[in-house]
A and B are shown apart, each in its own frame.
Chain A
Amino acid sequence: MPIIFEQVTHIYGAGTPFEKEALSAVSFAIPDEAFVGIIGQTGSGKSTLVQHLNGLLKPTRGRIQVGDWQIEPSSRLPAEFRSNVGLVFQYPEHQLFEETVAKDVAFGPRNLGLSEEAALLRAKEALETVGLSYDELKDRSPFHLSGGQMRRVALAGVLAMQSKVLVLDEPTAGLDPAGRKEILEAIYRIHRERKLTTFLVTHSMEEASRYADFLLVMAEGKVVLQGTPAEVFAEEELLRHHALAVPQTVELIQQINASLPGEQQIPVTLFREEELQDYLLHRLRQTRAVIIPE
């Protein structure tokens, strides 16, 4: 679903002493089936922005278009709109509420009108996608789980809805390294197979650069930079100005380059770890062909 923000401003508590403008005239246009990464410092407005995508927050000023729906300050959104956009909250506890894990994950599909059986089937599938065993956990309370397990259940609940737009607010915080990778790979696969439009809020430049076609960089309620990962990471100075870092791979390349002569510099576009590793190996084989066996 194509998504357009036009001059969107959001003010929390307008007219109160604690009035806070969390989004300031944000504009961007996202084509259908894009994978969008959103990065930015703590408090820059990422969660505020993504909560506009499913109508949980409405703009104070400006206009949003999600597919054929228009969201304006006074819009009322039909229930079917929400089922089109699945949002995973930053803190999973904010979205878990049922007595058991199975009921919790099946809630969305059941609400969409699926039969009990079909809803449970979807729950089972979704739990497996996030690396949890349905049989082991189905009757457990979602609140009596470890932090990472709760996160996985919350993710499963949204995946089970099979919505066309997927919005993930720091979905990998609290996941162990293998879980991070497996779950993001699974989401990426689903994104492509089902032709979704996906938003990923993340503090990890590695995740952002690996999965996103397009990045939005936020600072103090504004989108200060947008473009492909390569375009964004090329703006190192601007990123630094907003206290954001380039991916660790890029930082490593720069540190190596600092000691290498001009003609031996490593290109900073190798921000994918596998590409960097292959490049290093290849270069070392060339430089020291005699020593390193192929």
Chain B
Amino acid sequence: MESAPLIQFENVSFYYTDEFGEKLPVLQNLNLTIAEGEFVTIIGHNGSGKSTLAKLMNALLLPAEGEVRVGPWKTGATQEVWKIRQMVGLVFQNPDNQIVGSTVEDDVAFGLENIGVPPAEMRERIDAALKAVGMAAYAQRQPHKLSGGQKQRTAIAGIIAMRPRVLILDEATAMLDPQGRKEIMELVRRLNREAGITVINISHFPEEAVDADRVVVMRQGKIFMQGTPRNVFADVTRLQETGLDVPLAVRIQHYLSANGVPIPPLLHQKELVEELCRLFLNR
């Protein structure tokens, strides 16, 4: 699965400039490598810099210091910004900032026209993408007259139709019901496994991170922890101290273990169920 780095941050710093021209430092000296085919989940407190990091990955923002390399390009020193955006598709945190079409299908078509997909192929891609996110029945509807979750589904369809090599989801399922969120995460996992698409999922739901190859934890503009979900979530206290959380199964294991119950560290709910049954049945 591991292969050449596709995205590489080298000593990246980034500032926003406020209304008075003052610099607001956001990212400081950040290093990060994303390999082709990887599934990375990014978690972190509000304002820790996750969305900023995402926008640096597709050249919507450029580093103030350091370098961001995407495929063969350095985002700060290339004219090929459109090629970068074609390669790295970003689903925005707020779908209103992304949706432009006057109907749901026009909106998906807009992105495809931009990257020069031939009309004959467009139809097929639009239908497939809307079907994949469960919005086929809404193709003719006006996007601004959809419910909150329907807008998010539309925004996701717009990006997956473009078949980017890297798919970044910036809290793209925050407005979906649990079942809907599960379905979209399954879709994304399938794109990762079957089509080899690199996925970067930004989320406040620790449950969404358990199946990732790697979890990156942001804190105040820096990478605070990273590793496999099993390793990162094992450090319950450290995560909770920074305002983050671990999956329910890990919380329960941690509580029981802290109270003297002989139960080993675990990650998945399935493992917790097995351990508890073993203890209850005195096996």
Contact = CB atoms under 8 A, between A and B. Distances in A.
* Genuine A/B complex: yes
B178 A205 contact: yes
A186 interface: no
A74 interface: no
A42 B281 contact: no
Contacts of B269: 248, 251-252, 255
Interface in A89-128: 90-91, 93
B252 A276 contact: yes
Given A42-B180, A281-B259, A255 B273 contact: yes
A251 B280 CA distance: 18
A82 interface: no
Interface string A125-151: 000000000000001110011111100
Contacts, number: 154
B252 A41 contact: no
Contacts of A260: 277, 280-281
B150 A43 contact: yes
B243 A178 contact: yes
Interface in A64-98: 90-91, 93
B96 A174 contact: no
Interface string A12-31: 11000010000000000000
Interface of B: 16, 18-20, 44-47, 51, 93-94, 96, 141-142, 145-150, 153, 171, 174-181, 204, 206, 240, 243-245, 248-249, 251-252, 255-256, 259-262, 269-270, 272-273, 276-277, 279-282
B244 A176 contact: yes
A42 B153 contact: yes
A283 B249 CA distance: 17
Contacts of B245: 177-178
Nearest to A276: B252
Interface in A170-217: 170, 173-180, 203, 205
Given A42-B147, A42-B149, A174-B171, A140 B18 contact: yes
Contact of B204 (A13, A175, A245): A175
A178 B244 contact: yes
Given A243-B177, A248-B248, A277 B282 contact: no
Contacts of A251: 269
Contacts of B244: 176-178
A28 to B, nearest CB: 20
B86 to A, nearest CB: 25
A203 B242 CA distance: 24
B176 A203 contact: yes
Contacts of A224: none
B279 A287 contact: yes
B47 A148 contact: yes
Interface string A245-285: 10011011001100110001000000001001100110110
